[in-house]
Structure 1
Amino acid sequence: MQMSQLTPLLFASYWCTCGHGGAFRRYGFGAEYDLYAPNYPQDELFLIMGSAFAPQGYAWAFPRGNGRVRLGVGVIHPDNDEDARIYLDRIMRDIPQLAERFKGASPLEYHTGLFPSEGAVPGFSRDGLLLAGDAGGHGSTLVGEGIRFAIYSGQMAGETAAEAIKAGDTSAAYLGRFDQRWRSRFARDMDIAYMINKHIAAYSDAQWDSSLDLLKRLTPAQAAQALRGDFTASLVMGILARNPSLIATGGKRFLDKMLERINKPVAVSAE
């Protein structure tokens, strides 16, 4: 059978490297409860940092309607060798603000998972093969967000696969347009997210305290844009305007690096 007659395969598991390089070595390890929590305000969310509850990672409490709340913690391996599951019950029990809100809560589901935290792989396409989602390193490493970007990349990969079948050409050269489209849309923000992830993963508790003071001075729109991973020059300048003390610290140098990456043209050629 000619390779051009093969239907492209879409992989969404990062355990399959499929000739695209070695296995992922750096990854987030998370554990999470999905709880029914009748006393938890559905308009509040928590992000929790610090060595006592999420060493070299973070914890979260996200309401999702109808009294349901996701409570989780994630740590990065091999930056440390901590077990996220150990910290999960400690967070709900030992943080007073959460203990009150989770009074009477009942766990309905329990999840654990891994998330590749190395950025995108060099190439997403081979003859008859496309990698989308975790397999391509398509999640945002800033906060370990994968589902939204897996959907985006899956849609792009599906469109490319359909075009390839229609054209009767599933060669790497033809399928490489998926690489080009993905990098044109996401490469810059994903690169910056990974740069931030590597920077903050080594934070001490004192550095987190300082950074949280910085976040308090952002507008809700700026904070949401940053967590969403939508990095623009106006966002960086807005952060600096609201935190002039960064000029005299290493924070200004880091923001300059972000601006440099934002202004750098995106290379969209396939591998």
Structure 2
Amino acid sequence: MIDIRGLYQHLAGRAIAAGAEIRVRHTVDKVLREGERIVGVTYKNHVSERREVHADVTIDASGFSRHIGVRSDMGEAFHRYGFGAEYDLYAPHYPQDTVYLIMGSAFAPQGYAWVFPRGNGRVRIGVGVIHPDCDNDARPYLNSIMQMPQLKEKLRGASPVEYHTGLFPAVRPVDRFCRDGLMLAGDSGGQGSTLVGEGIRFAMYAGQMAGDVAADAVKSGDTSGTFLNRFDRQWRTRFGRDMEISYLINKHIAAYTDEQWDGAFDLLKRLTASQIAQAVRCDYSASLFMGILARNPMLVATGGKKFLDVLLERINKPSLAVAEGSKQVS
């Protein structure tokens, strides 16, 4: 677990030290075009004055809202998404080496809940549900989780310090990440892992890749979609297959009943800690899935092997790449 506000401020400090200018409380409202090229944006600043900024390359890193991508015909708004709510608690009696993942209709229908310590007496308690797979509001479940008998003593004397809500795209990556003068990086391109709704780590990877390609494009004087598509190809080569597998798993388990989750936990109990960690961080391999099958031979009898075979097929296919234009090929 990370201190997200602290992380943002740390990254902001590094960016400013490198020469960047950060404008806070500015909201993009329109995209500037010259023909088919994106050349910047208009925005409202912190006192609602409308201004514009021109750029050789614009990178949409606006997350789920994908303000620029939608306005630039780079795909529609996301229609399947995780809705999460979270308390950041000060919990002086909570053991800092204990993590809970909670599934089931009573606490997180079509999703999961979590209790994650993050040091110095701080604990994150949250719940995420997937819309439109269900129409439940995640927020009311927070207090139910805090009242669980298993947590009562550990949360003795605890109280919220912060309250967070957020949205995460629970979809495949968008068809294309780049066009003339524009790149989509992070959640705006659907580049996070839908397995557990992990976006920050993958957004940082994508941001580094996109920044490198954008810098090369500006130096070369070529900011066309053809040049910027280097980012698209690099990302899909490194992450495309794993994100596809994460999406397939997410679609499979999001519809689990309570009884199916009971069976899934029986399966997880037979895995090693390293196998669970490898799966959660989306580091998929044929040896991982074969190891899961070896430790759970009953999967063959229950039909689970068929689903594992689908995942193995994805593992053994070449990584997704970008062909000419916006078409993707395997």
Within the alignment, does 1:68 sit opposite 2:117 as a pair? no
> 1:154: which partner in 2?
207
| Unaligned segments of structure 1, at least 5 residues | none
Q: What's the offset of the Cα at 1:269?
A: 2.0
Residue identity matched to 2:124: R
Within the alignment, does 1:23 sit opposite 2:77 as a pair? yes
Residue identity matched to 1:261: R
> 1:213: which partner in 2?
266
> 2:154: which partner in 1?
101
> 1:41: which partner in 2?
95
Q: TM-score, normalised by structure 1?
A: 0.97
* Aligned pair partner of 1:240 in 293, 296, 307: 293
Q: TM-score, normalised by structure 2?
A: 0.80
Contact 1:4 1:171 in 2 (8 A): no
Q: What's the offset of the Cα at 1:99?
A: 1.6
How many pairs are equivalent? 270
> 2:86: which partner in 1?
32
CA shift digits 1:140-177 (9 cap, x unpaired) = 00000000001000110000100000011110000000
> 2:163: which partner in 1?
110
> 1:204: which partner in 2?
257
Contact 1:92 1:102 in 2 (8 A): yes
CA shift digits 1:109-136 (9 cap, x unpaired) = 1000100101200000011000001100
> 2:13: which partner in 1?
none
Contact 1:33 1:110 in 2 (8 A): yes
> 2:217: which partner in 1?
164
> What SS does the aligned partner of 1:247 have?
helix
RMSD: 1.4
Q: What's the offset of the Cα at 1:4?
A: 9.9
> 2:57: which partner in 1?
8
User: With CA pairs under 8 Å and 6+ residues apart, which has the higher RCO, 1 or 2?
Assistant: 1
Higher normalized helix content (fraction of residues): 1
> What SS does the aligned partner of 2:114 have?
strand
> What SS does the aligned partner of 2:223 have?
coil
Over the matched positions of the two proteins, sequence identity in percent amounts to 67
Q: What's the offset of the Cα at 1:211?
A: 0.2
> 1:192: which partner in 2?
245
In structure 2, what is the Cα distance between the partners aligned to 1:229 and 1:267? 16
Q: What's the offset of the Cα at 1:54?
A: 0.2
Q: What's the offset of the Cα at 1:267?
A: 2.8
Larger-Rg structure: 2
Contact 1:4 1:170 in 2 (8 A): no
Within the alignment, does 1:86 sit opposite 2:140 as a pair? yes
CA shift digits 1:83-112 (9 cap, x unpaired) = 00010111111x111122111112111000
